[in-house]
Structure 1
Amino acid sequence: MAINISKGDCFHCGLPNLEGDKYPVTILNNKHYMCCPGCQAVASTIVDNGLESYYEFRTEPAAKGDSALDNTMSKLAVYDEPELQEEFVFDSGKDKQIQLTVEGITCAACGWLIEKQLAKVSGVKQVAVNVGARRAMVTWNDDEIHLSQLLGKLKTIGYESLPFQADKHEASFQNEQKSYLKKLGLAGIMTMQVMMLAMAQYFDLFGDMDAETTRYFNWVSLVLTTPVVLYSGSVFYLSALKSTLAKTINMDISISIAILSTYIAGIITINQVDAEVYFESICMFVFFLLISRYLEQRTRHKANQISSNMLKHIPVTAFKWVDGELKSVLAKQLQVNDLVLVKAGEIIPVDGEITEGQATIDESMLTGEFESVEKQQGAQVYGGTINQLGVITIRVTTSLKYAMVNQILRLQETALANKPKVALMADKLSRHFGAIVLAFTAITYTFWYFQDGPNAFWIAISVLVATCPCALGLATPSALTCAMAKLNKGGILLKRADALEQLTEITDIVFDKTGTLTRGEFSIERAWFADDQQRDKLLSIATALEIRSEHPIAKAFAKLNINTKDEQIDDFSLSIGNGIAGKLNGHVYKLGSANFVNLTGCPPLANELDNATVILTKNDAVVAAFWLVDQIKSDVAAVLKKLKRYDTSILSGDSEKNVSFVAHKLGINNSYAQCTPSQKLTTIKTMQQQGKKVLMLGDGINDAPVLAAADVSLAVGNASDLAKNAADVILLNARLDSLSLVLAMADRTRRKIKQNMVWAIGYNVLVLPLAMAGFLTPWMAALGMSISSIIVVINSTRLLKD
C-alpha cells in the first residue's frame, strides 16, 4: 500500500516543504507540491515518462532531489552568453550547432537514448552521438530553445555535458578512466578473496567443515562482495535506470537484474548450509564486465584520438603584429585580417594567407602526405601545419573556430549522424534483443521450476548473463569509428558514414577531367587573334574576365602577370561550366566554350577554331581564341589499373579532342565532351535510370550539381568550396590514389561489420541453448560474454592497421 505524505511535506521526498506552492507537479490528475526544484524535476520526469503509478505503490518516500537545481541551471545559463558561444557554437544557416562532451556514456544504448530524448525536444533539429568518442553533435533553433536548456535536459536524464574542448574532453576521459580503474581494482581484489573462500568450500580444503564454519565463510564472502555490488557495479545500475526512465530496454538492464538478483538470493540463503550463494560468481561477473568495458573504452578512444589529436597541433599562443611590434596573444583570440609572424620550426596558429616571405610547409597532419609543400606570397596556409623553413607573415582569413582542423572534426561528427542501414539494423536488433533475453530467461526459470530443478534460479541467471547483447551493440559503431579514423589519417574526410556502405555497391566511376585526372595547371600553348595589333589589349581583357573565376583555366591567364587595373568590368556574369561575360566600355565580351559564345554561327571560324579551349567574343564577334594544355597526373594510370572491376567514364566540358586524348591514353571506357552542367547532370541521371550505381569525382563549381546527384561523390584535391559542400567524401590531398584507399576501406569495413555481426549473433545463438540446459554457471556465462565483446572490438581495430 502506498505511503501517506503529511500535508505540508514534500510529496516526493516527504521532507518538510518550506517553499509552499512554489514547485507544483500534477500527478494522477492532482496537483502536489515539492520542496525544491530537484524534487520537482525528478517528479516531472517520472510523470513525463508515464510512470505515475510509482506514487501509488511506493512504500517509502523517494530520495531528495538536487535542491541546488536552480543554482545548477543558473550556472548553465552562462552558456547562453554570445561572447562565450563565440568560441564553440557554429552558425549553421538559421540554426546553431555545437559539439558536446557527454559524460556517463557506457554503450551504444546510451547514444540511442540521448538521441531519442533530445529529438523529442522542440527546437532540436538533429542529434548525433559518437559513443566511442563520448561526444554529441547537436543542431538547434535558438529562437525555440537555448543552449542552457539543452544542457539541462541532458542533465535531467543523467548525463553531464559541456561544450567540447580538446583539453577538457581529454581530462574528462582520464577521470572516467580513473573511476573505471578504481572500480575494476576493487572488484579484482575482492574477487580473489571471495574465490579463495569458495575454493576452500568447493574442494573441502579445510576438511569436513561444520555448518557454523560454512555460514561464517558465507558471511565473510557477503561482506567482501557488498562493495563490489554497490560500488563497482554502480555503472550498470545507473545506465539501466536511465534506460528505464526513458521507457526503453538496454543491455545493462539484464546485467543489473542478474547482479542484484544473485546478490539478494545469496543474502536470503546465507544461513542455509546446503544452499548455493554464488558470491564468487557475482564478483567475477562484475570483474569480467568491467575489464571488457575498460578495454572497449580504451580501444575506441585510441581510434578517436587519430582525428581528435589534430586539435592538439594548434599552438596556444601566436605572435601578432600590433603597431609595428610583435605581441604574444592567444591563438583563439586572433581575428580575420590580423597579421601574424611565423618563424621556421613554428606551428602555424590559424588559417591564413601569406602576405610576406616564402616557406616550406609540412601539411601531413591534414593531408596525410609527408612531402613538404613550397608556399609563396598569396598562398593559403592552415592552422596546425608546420613551417619547416623560412619566415612568413600571414593575414588571418578564418578565425580558429572555423579553421580547417575544426571543420574536419565537425564533419567527422556530423558524418556519424547518417548511420548506414546495417548500423540502424544493429541498433534496433540490440534493443529488441534485450527484451528477447528477458523473455527467454523467464521461460527458462519457469521450465526448471516446474521440473523441480534445484538450480532453476541460477540457470535463469546464466541465461540472462550469457546472452547480454553487448557485442551486438558494438559490432557496427566500433568498425565505423576505426574506418573513419584510418581514412582521416590518410587525408580523406567522410561527410557521412553511410557513404562507406554505398561505396561497396558502386558499378560506375565517373571522372571530371580538369583538376581530377589532370593537374589543373593550365598553360596557354597557342593563341589566335583576329587583329594582332590588339593582341595585348585582348589578352588584358581576357585576363580581367578569367581572374573572376575559380576554374583552373583562370590560373593560366594569371601566370601572364598582366596588369588589369584599367579593365573595369561591369555587369559581370558567370555561367557555371560554360564561360564568363562582362561589359567593358559599352561592349559586351564573352569568354568560354564554343557553345557559350555561339561559334556555330560563324562557319568559317568554326572549323579553324574547333579545338580551341576558350574563345573570346566582342559583341558576339570572335576576336580571340586560346588553346590550353594540361598534364595528366602521374598517379592516375596506376590508380585506374586497380579499378578494372568498375566501368569508368570521363564527363567534361572540355573539347572533344582533349577529352578523347585523355580517355584513350588512360584506357577509360566512355567519354562525354563539351558538356554543360545540366548535360552532365542528365548523363548521371540516365546512368542511374539504367540501374547503375555512380561514384562521381570532381573539383570545380561546375561539378557541384552532379556531385550532389551521384550515389556517392568525391571532391578531389583543392576543390572549390561549392564542390566540397556537395561531395560526400573530400580528399584533402590532390593525389588520386586516395580513391583506391577509400574503396578498399569501404570493402574492408563491410567485411568487418559482417564478421562482427555473425560473431555476435552466432555467439548468442550458440550459448543460449547451453545456458538454458544448465551447462553454464553464472561466472562462466560472464566470462564468455566479456570475451565476446572484446573480440568484436579487437576485430574492428584491425582496420587501423595497414
Structure 2
Amino acid sequence: MSNHENCYHCGLPNDPQQEFFTTILGQPRQLCCPGCHAVATAIVENGLESYYQFRTEPAEKGDDALDITLAKLAIYDQPELQEEFVYDEGKHKQIQLTIEGITCAACGWLIEKQLIKQAGIKQVAVNVAERRAVVTWESATISLSKILLTIKRIGYHAMPFQPDQHEQSFINEHKRYLKKVGLAGIMTMQVMMLMTGLYFDLFGNIGHETRQYFYWIALVLTTPVVFYSGSVFYLGAFKALAAKTVNMDVPVTIAVLGTYLAGIKSVLLEEGEVYFESICMFVFLLLLSRFLEHRARQKAAQVSANLMQHIPVTANQLDEKGNLTTQLAKSLSVGDKVLVKAGETVPIDGIIERGESRIDESMLTGEFAPVAKVAGDGVYGGTINQNGVLEVRVTATLKNALVNQIIRLQTSALINKPKIAQTADRFSKIFVSIVLVLSALTFGFWSYLGSEQAFWIMIAVLIATCPCALGLATPSALTCAMANLNSHGILIKRADALEQLTKIDTIALDKTGTLTKGAFSIEKQVFAPEIHESTALGIAHALETASEHPIASAFLSNTDFTARNVKVEPGKGLMGHVDGEVFYIGSPQWFAEVTGHTLVVLPLSPNVILFNEHQWLAAFVVSDELKEGTDTVIDELRARYAMCLLSGDTQKQVDKVARALNIQNAMGEMTPESKMAYMQDAQRDGSRVLMMGDGINDAPVLAQADVSVAVGNATDVARSAADVIFLNAELQGVQRVIGIAELTARKIKQNMAWALGYNVSILPFAVSGILHPWMAMVGMSLSSIIVVANSARLLKKDLL
C-alpha cells in the first residue's frame, strides 16, 4: 500500500469514501478521519508542526467521532453537574482538572499554550507534579465542554478533579512504574551476568561463535527494556521537541537509542563493542529514581487529597417538624439542619444550634486533643463528634467546605514557583542544550583524532552530564515540605512563601485572636442616663450578631431586638438599623469621627462604645486572655526577629499585652489604613515583614506583608489575603512553618549543589574518555536517587 493511502498522522489506511486534507510542513497531507484531521490542524495552527519532523513513529489515531465526543463532554455544561466542582470567581468560573498523559514540564507548557489561545480563557496553570490544572474562564464566551475538548485534541484526557479518581490515577501510574522498573531490573540482572562473564573471562576460553551467541541473547533481553521500560523517556523527549524546547529526556533518549542501535550494528557485523548491560542498568536506575520521586509526590498529595475520604457519604437531615431523613452530604444546602450523633463524623461545615460535645479535629489541625464545642461554635466536615448529640445548621455546601478549600489551596500553591525553582527550570533547559552541543563537539574532536571510541565517549558525556538530579532538586523538596506542613494543620497558599519566610527580619502581630484567645468578656461597663441597661445590651447584641470579629462573642445574649442593613467598617466597628434608628458600635475613635464629639470623662477607659449619631449610649471595657504558651513562643521569636504589635484596640489594652510579652514596639488604636502605612514604611526602610492576623481589618496589611499568616479561626477575608493559614489557633505553628521553610531552603541548596557538583566534576572524566558509559550511567542515576531521598526526609512528621 502506497504512502498516500495511509493517514499522515496515525499511519492507518485512509477512508476511500471521505477525504480529509491539511497542510503540514508545506505540503497537503491526507488524513483518515475527522479526529486525526482535528489533531493535526490543532498542532499546525499552534506552531507545533515540527512534531512531525522529530517523531519516531506514527501518533495514536485521533477521535474519529468528534461529534460524539463533544456530545459526551456537553454533560459537563449542565449547571446541576457544575454545582459540584465549578467555583464562581466573580464574573469568571474556575475548575480543577485531573489531566492524564502528563509526563514532563513540556506537557504542562503545551497544555497552557494551547488553552490560553482560546477566547474566554483568563488563566491556565498546570501543576505537572500532581498532574492537575486550574483553569479560569468566562462562561459567556467559552463552555467547559469546549475546554475539555481542546485538551483532548492535543492528546491529553482531562476530567474534573475528584479526589478518589485522582488517587486511582496515581495508583494506576504506580502500577505502570512497577511493571517497567520490575522488567528493567530482571533483565538487567540477566544481561549483567552474561556480559560480566564475557568481560572478565569467567566462561573460560570460549570461541567467537559462542561469544556472538551470548551477544544475541543480551540483545534479545535488552530490547524489551529499551522499548517498554524506556518508553517514558522517549515520550517526554518527543513532547518536548514537539513544543520546540528541550528537556532532560532528550539526552537520555539519544544515549539509550544510540547505544542500542550501535549494539545491534556490532552484533550484526560481528565487530566492535556492545554495551547492552549499560543500557539496561541506565534505564533501570533512572526509572528507579523517577519511581521514588513518584512515591514521594504521591505520599505528599495524599495528605491533602485524602481529606475528602473523611467526609461521610450521607447525613441525617432534620426537617422543620424534627423528622430525620437520610440525605447525600453533597446534596445539603446552606440553611439545612443535620443531626450528628455521638461517635459520628460531621458531614458538612456548619454552626452548632443545640447541644455540646468534644470534637476530634486532628484530620484538619494535626492536634489530637479534642476541642470542646457548644452552641454557636463552628464545626467542620470530616471531624469526629466524640460525645453528645449536636444539631448543626449548614453554613457551606460540600463544594465550599473547609476540606475542599484545603485541596484547592494546595493545588494553587505549587503553581506559584519560588524564584529558585524558576531559575532551576531555566538553567536545566540551558544546561541540556549545552550538554547536547558539548557531546557533539566531543564526538567531532575524537573523530578528528581518529579514535574508534569517539561514539562511546560522546555517549558517556550525554549520560554523565544529564541534569536529571537538577530537575528534581526543587520540586521534590517543595512537595515534601508542604505535605509535612499539611499534616500539622498548616496550609501554604503560595509555594514561594516558603522561600520568602527564610528572608524575614521582622514579625508584626495583631493582638485580638492572634495573641489572645478571642474568648471575650465584658470586664467593665457604664450606661448613659438616657438608655436602660437591657436595651443597650440588646442593641449591642443585635449589631454584633453580624460580625465575625472575636469581640462579638462578649455581647451574644438573648434579645428581642433585630438589626437590619448591618454594615461592617473594618477597623472601626458596625452600624445598622434597630427599630428604624441607626446605631453604631465600635472604637472610641469612630465615635469621635461620627458624632464630632469628644467622649465625656468616664470612670473607665472603654475600648467599645455603643452610640447613635448624636451621643454615646454605653461604654465597655472588653478583654480576653493570652493564649497558653504565647509568651514562650514570643520569647523564642524575639531572639531572632524584631517584634511589633499592631492592634485596633485601645492603647491601654495593647500596652497591657505588650508588657506581658515584653514587646517594646506596641501600637494601639490603629485603623487598617494606619497598619498598612506602618507596613509600607517598614518595607521602605528595608525590612522584610511577616504579618500575623485574623480579622477583616487585618486583610489589607496581610496582603501588603512580605509573608502573611492567618491564625486559627480567621475570617474568610483574612484567609483570602494570607499566604499561610493555621487551622490550629495555637501560635506555635509559626515556629514550625519558619523551621520547615529553612529546612526546605537548605535541602534545595544541598540538592542543587550535589547535582551541579556531580555534573561539573564528572564532565572532564567523560570528555577525556576515562569514564566508560556504564560508569556514567551508574553515577547519573545514583545522583538522582540521592536527591529524591534527601528531599523525602522532609516528610518526617517529627522533623522539628
Cα deviations across residues 696-728 of structure 1 (Å, max 9, x unaligned)? 111111111111111111111111111111111
Match of 2:212 in 1: 215
Q: Is the 8 A contact 1:647 1:669 kept in 2?
A: no
Q: Distance in 1 between matches of 2:56 and 2:767?
A: 35
Are 1:111 and 1:129, in contact at CA under 8 Å, matched by a contact in 2? yes
1:648 CA drift (Å): 0.9
Q: What amino acid does structure 2 have at the position aligned with 1:748?
A: L
2:675 aligns with 680
Partner of 1:608: helix, strand, or coil?
A: coil
- 1:158-307 superposed matches below 5 A: 158-307=155-304
Q: Is the 8 A contact 1:310 1:365 kept in 2?
A: yes
Gap change, CA 1:743 and 1:51, over 3 Å in 2 = closer
Distance 1:704 1:687 in 2: 18
What are the equivalent positions in structure 2 for 1:181-580 lying under 5 Å apart?
181-321=178-318, 325-531=323-529, 534-558=532-556, 561-565=557-561, 569=563, 572-580=566-574
Cα offset, 1:364, TM superposition: 1.0
CA contact (8 A) 1:215 1:273 kept: yes
Give ranges in structure 2 of 5+ residues lacking alignment: none
For structure 1, which segment, 473-482 or 301-310, has the greater mean C-alpha deviation from structure 2 after superposition? 301-310
Residues 640 and 214 of structure 1: is their aligned pair in 2 closer, same or farther, counting only changes over 3 Å? same
Secondary structure in 1 matching 2:268: coil
Shift of 1:138: 2.4
Quote the offset at 1:261 in angstroms: 0.9
1:37–1:70 CA contact under 8 A, matched in 2: no
Q: By how many angstroms is 1:60 displaced?
A: 10
Q: Residue 768 of structure 2 is aligned with which of 766, 773, 795?
A: 773
Whole-angstrom CA distance in 2 between matches of 1:457 and 1:70:
51
Could you report, residue by residue, the CA deviation over 1:346-377 in whole angstroms, capped at 9, with x for unpaired residues? 21121122233322210111112211112223
What is the distance in 1 between the residues matched to 2:583 and 2:42?
68
Q: Indicate which of 129, 134, 149 corresponds to 1:132.
A: 129
Structure 1 pair 260–49 and aligned structure 2 pair: CA distance change class (3 A): farther
| Stretch moving more, 324-333 or 454-463 | 324-333
Cα 1:782/1:546, change in 2 over 3 Å: same
CA contact (8 A) 1:458 1:778 kept: yes
Residue 100 (structure 1) aligned with residue 94 (structure 2): no
Distance, in Å, in 2 between the alignment partners of 1:59 and 1:470 is 23
Paired with 1:574 and 1:81, the residues of 2 have a C-alpha distance of 37
Distance 2:587 2:12 in 1: 82
Contact 2:517 2:625 in 1 (8 A): yes
Match of 2:729 among 724, 734, 737: 734
Opposite residue 492 of structure 1, the aligned amino acid is I
Specify whether residues 440 and 280 from structure 1 end up closer, same or farther in structure 2 by C-alpha distance, changes over 3 A only.
Answer: same
Q: Name the residue aligned to 2:658.
A: 663
2:584 corresponds to which of 586, 590, 598: 590
Partner of residue 748, structure 2? 753
Q: CA deviation at 1:424?
A: 0.7
Q: TM-score of the superposition, structure 1-length normalised?
A: 0.93
Alignment-derived partner of residue 759 in structure 2: 764
In 1, the alpha carbon distance for the partners of 2:603 and 2:585 equals 14
CA shift in 2, pair 1:394/1:583, >3 Å: closer
Amino acid at match of 1:476: T
Instruction: Show CA shifts across 1:102-128 (max 9, x none).
Output: 233344454445444444444333333
- Tell me whether 28-37 or 538-547 shows the greater mean CA deviation: 28-37
Cα distance in 1 for partners of 2:148, 2:102 equals 15
Q: Distance in 2 between matches of 1:426 and 1:552?
A: 44
- CA change 1:759–1:675 in 2 (3 A) is same
The reply to whether residue 18 of structure 1 matches residue 54 of structure 2 is no
The 8 Å contact of residues 5 and 14 in structure 1, kept in 2 or not, is answered as: no
Residue 698 of structure 1 corresponds to 693
Residue 249 (structure 1) shift: 0.7
Q: Which one is further off, 471-480 or 299-308?
A: 299-308
**Is the CA contact 1:303–1:481 (under 8 Å) kept in the aligned structure 2?**
yes
SS at structure 2 position matched to 1:390: coil
212-221 or 246-255, larger mean C-alpha shift: 212-221
* Mapped contact 1:611–1:656 kept (Cα < 8 A): no
1:671-711 Cα shifts (integer Å, max 9, x gaps)? 11111221221111111121111111111111111111111
For residues 540 and 3 of structure 2, the distance between their equivalents in structure 1, rounded to whole angstroms, comes to 87
Change (3 A) 1:27 1:294: closer
What is the CA distance between 1:729 and its match in structure 2?
1.1
CA positional deviation for 1:10: 4.9
Q: What's 1:612 paired with?
A: 606
Question: What is the match of residue 636 of structure 2?
Answer: 642
Structure 2 SS opposite 1:129: strand
Q: 1:407 deviation in Å?
A: 0.5
Match of 1:787 in 2: 782
1:152 aligns with 2:180: no
Of 385-394 and 268-277, the range deviating more from structure 2: 268-277
Q: Distance in 2 between matches of 1:212 and 1:763?
A: 41
SS of equivalent residue, structure 2 residue 386: strand
- For structure 1, list consecutive stretches of 5 or more residues without a partner in the other structure: none
Alignment partners' CA distance in 2, 1:152 and 1:685: 46
Percent identity over the alignment is: 58
How many angstroms apart in 1 are the aligned matches of 2:57 and 2:395? Answer: 63
C-alpha displacement of 1:669: 2.2
Number of residues of Structure 1 aligned to a counterpart in Structure 2: 793
Aligned AA (2:300): A
CA shift at 1:587, angstroms?
5.1
The corresponding residue for 1:631 is 625
Find 2:77's aligned residue among 80, 98, 105: 80
Question: Are the counterparts in 1 of residues 566 and 576 from structure 2 also a CA contact under 8 Å?
Answer: yes
Q: Which amino acid aligns with 2:160?
A: P
- Preserved CA contact (<8 Å) 1:516 1:697: yes
What one-letter code is carried by the residue in structure 2 that aligns with 1:624? A
| Contact 2:54/2:241, CA 8 A, preserved across alignment | no
Q: Distance in 2 between matches of 1:533 and 1:281?
A: 92
Query: Using the alignment, how far apart are the partners of 2:54 and 2:750 within structure 1?
Result: 47
Aligned with 1:149: secondary structure?
helix
Residue type matched to 2:687 in 1?
Answer: K
Letter in 2 for 1:780: M
Q: Verify the 8 A CA contact 1:368 1:490 in the aligned structure 2.
A: yes
Q: Please report how far the alpha carbon of residue 273 of structure 1 lies from its aligned counterpart in structure 2 after TM superposition.
A: 4.0
CA gap of 1:52–1:309, structure 2 versus 1, over 3 A, is closer
CA positional deviation for 1:43: 2.7
Distance 2:192 2:534 in 1: 94
User: How many Å apart are 1:592 and its aligned residue?
Assistant: 2.3
- The partner residue of 2:794 within 792, 795, 799 is 799
After TM superposition, give the deviation of residue 544 of structure 1 in Å: 2.6
Task: Report the CA distance shift for 1:450/1:630 in structure 2 as closer, same or farther (over 3 A).
Answer: same
Q: Which amino acid aligns with 2:415?
A: A
Report the Cα offset of residue 53 of structure 1.
7.3
State whether residues 129 and 416 of structure 1, in contact with CA within 8 Å, keep that contact through their aligned partners in structure 2.
no
Q: Which amino acid aligns with 2:775?
A: M
Distance of aligned partners of 1:504 and 1:684 in 2 relative to their CA distance in 1, 3 Å threshold: same
Task: Identify if the C-alpha distance between structure 1 residues 466 and 75 changes in structure 2 by more than 3 Å, giving closer, same or farther.
Answer: farther
Q: Tell me if the contact between 1:319 and 1:327 (Cα under 8 Å) persists in the aligned partners.
A: yes
Aligned-residue offset at 1:62: 7.7
Structure 2 contact 317–325 (Cα < 8 Å) conserved: yes
